Chains A and B, each alone.
Chain A
Amino acid sequence: MTLALALLPLFAFLTVVIGPAVLPVQGLLTAISVVTLHHMNPDFNTRRMLFVACVALAISIVPTWKLGTYIEESRRSGASVALFLALFLSFAACVSLPAGELVHISFILPVNPSAITISLMVVFAGLAGLAVRPGIRDQFAGLLTACDGILLAAANTQQTRAVWIVGSCILLLAAAGLWLTQRLSLLREISAAEQDGGS
């Protein structure tokens, strides 16, 4: 359990509450965790690990950079509900997944059992944000958080080539989501600019 892994759920909860502003830090932590997992298990494929880390960085930095020009939504409704749901689900994940019994059960052998719980917590936090928050930017941030969790879990297994497909699919998903989010947020930017010009 490294520091990056330990901080990851905290930043996932922060993303659920605050929105896309925290995403780069979270992507950076995910990438660091993936690379650390690779260092702890030298028999992993290096190119695969680097690909997963790059995807994690790309899907968190590029959307934040692209969405930075748009105006923040003023209302923060639903944040407490989403945070409560995320905390509840994460607690359930921690309780129902004791780390000891995990190994040698499934067809996918996990490498680091604590990373499984962390990735589940991150996925749950992201999905709670995606399901509960009303604003599209916050929903998109939740989606990207869940993608980070999936990437961490994918890097944690010995699973062979499917990681490439899953990673590219997540890249495409982030691109499509960014495209839709920009189209839906454009109106707000124009109205805000008009307000600024008027006042």
Chain B
Amino acid sequence: MASFAEILLFLTLCWPFLAGIALIATGRPGTDESGTDHDTVMLRLPFAVIGLLLTVLNLPLAVYMTVTGSSTAHFWLIETPVAVLGSMILYGGLLSENLALCPRTGRSLAVLERARPFWTTGLIVVAVFFADPLAKMAILLLASILRVLLIDGGQGRAVAGWTVLRTKASGALLVLAGLLCPGTSASGVLAGIGYAVLTGLFPVSAFPEEADNARLPDIRNMGETVRASAGALLLASVLSASPLPSESSAIFSLTLISFGFVTVFVTSFRMQFAGASADIRLSQGLNVSQGCLALGAIAAGLNLPMVTCFALIPPVLTLPWLARSEMTAASDLSGRLAEWTAGLLPFITVLIILYVMTTYSVILALALTIIVLPAIRRGGRDLIPLMNGIRPGAFSRSTVAQRDAPISSVPELRD
């Protein structure tokens, strides 16, 4: 059993890198101008599905080995159910991004651009599975460096790349300093602030606005960003349990919770003052995702790694759909599904967190309720179309014809 689990884990960790290499090998431009793009799309989806399947197969093994108490450590890696769940979410985000990008085959991607999400996601998953906290942090930083090298190599993107690298590097160096310089309090504070910076809690933004003319971030950058933030949060949720000593662990939790609270407050404010515009779904979706990251940080501080995983589902899975539907069919079934997921799952997360938090402090739970209530109302109105009075009967196909250009991209697919 143990050797089987080891082989499966090894395959899971190797798969994205092999898939990326295969995508590069098959996607050489110039061989066949009409067929190449279509071929890589046909390859990308199965590759992402296989990655997700391998991780799903890992889950029962990890649960079994944890329940029976057998050794879950393989060489440098450690296989816990939380890590497997987190990697499932990350691979799910990869699949969701590839699915959402599927109809845009007309715009050909660069060769490296096709393989990049596989590589960065693979590095983040490796970081989640590593046993040593220092090595975890280093691998996560490596994923950010790879992202900057591959995305921002183009002309005119150096400032954006430096901004990302600066934020991620300062967060990672803070965490490393906190882990390497053990003290009673300073270690917890430093690691907490570092993880907050990496996740994109309040003083920094998880979704920084692009420097050039695009007001909202590009869909592919957004997937990268949200997956890196989710990876940092997963590392934080695992860290707050084990390797820090008890006192600095308490301070670490406190730091994460306070950063999460401030971020939820600011995001709730921002959601109230989001002006009505054409892309309100995307901007509110970004706000909701930021709020979900903050809720995940609160859950990580409360030492609930499973709830952190649950809070990470909506941003990682739905954000590509919310970004895409603005330019293509708004009445897609999966787009609707993404809207409902982004609207409902954070609400359930808030309920779980409130349920746990009342045992610690009633005042904090009341404060969280007061902070979150207006955001829930506004988010429900903007995201879930049934509550939106302008769009009644959104599920019926008859209303689709009234909206302008909803299915315009589908014929392009057939061409």
Contacts and interface: CB of A to CB of B under 8 A. Distances in A.
Partners in one complex: yes
A183 B179 CA distance: 33
B170 A120 contact: no
Given A96-B185, A96-B186, A184-B158, A153 B180 contact: yes
A108 to B, nearest CB: 6
Contact of B162 (A120, A136, A162): A136
A36 interface: no
A166 B317 CA distance: 31
A173 B180 contact: no
Contact of B138 (A93, A139, A149, A162): A162
B182 A106 contact: yes
A183 B152 CA distance: 11
A95 B415 CA distance: 69
Given A166-B135, A176-B165, A106 B245 contact: yes
A173 B182 contact: no
Given A96-B186, A150-B173, A150-B177, A169 B132 contact: no
Interface stretch (A14-22, A55-63, A72-80, A123-131): A123-131
B184 interface: yes
Interface stretch (A27-35, A97-105, A190-198): A97-105
B176 interface: yes
A156 B145 CA distance: 26
Interface in B183-201: 183-187
B173 A123 contact: yes
A149 to B, nearest CB: 7
B173 A147 contact: yes
Contacts of A105: 182-184, 245
A169 B135 CA distance: 9
Given A150-B176, A165-B138, A120 B186 contact: yes
B8 interface: no
A180 B183 contact: no
Nearest to B149: A176
A53 interface: no
Given A107-B245, A123-B173, A162-B138, A176 B186 contact: no
A183 B158 CA distance: 7
Given A143-B166, A143-B169, A162-B132, A127 B174 contact: yes
Contacts of B185: 96
Contacts of A26: none
B180 A180 contact: no
A173 B145 contact: yes
A101 B184 contact: yes
Query: Closest 7 CB pairs between A and B?
Result: A106-B182, A153-B180, A169-B138, A162-B134, A183-B158, A162-B135, A165-B138
Given A119-B181, A166-B134, 19 more contacts: A97-B183, A101-B183, A101-B184, A110-B181, A116-B182, A120-B177, A120-B186, A127-B170, A130-B170, A150-B176, A154-B134, A154-B176, A154-B180, A156-B180, A172-B145, A173-B141, A180-B148, A180-B161, A180-B165
Interface of A: 93, 96-97, 101-102, 105-108, 110, 116, 119-120, 123, 126-127, 130-131, 136, 139, 143, 146-147, 149-150, 153-154, 156-157, 159, 161-162, 165-166, 168-169, 172-173, 176-177, 179-181, 183-184
20 contacts: A101-B184, A105-B182, A105-B245, A106-B187, A106-B244, A106-B248, A110-B181, A119-B181, A120-B177, A127-B173, A136-B162, A139-B166, A154-B176, A161-B135, A165-B134, A169-B142, A173-B169, A176-B149, A180-B148, A181-B162
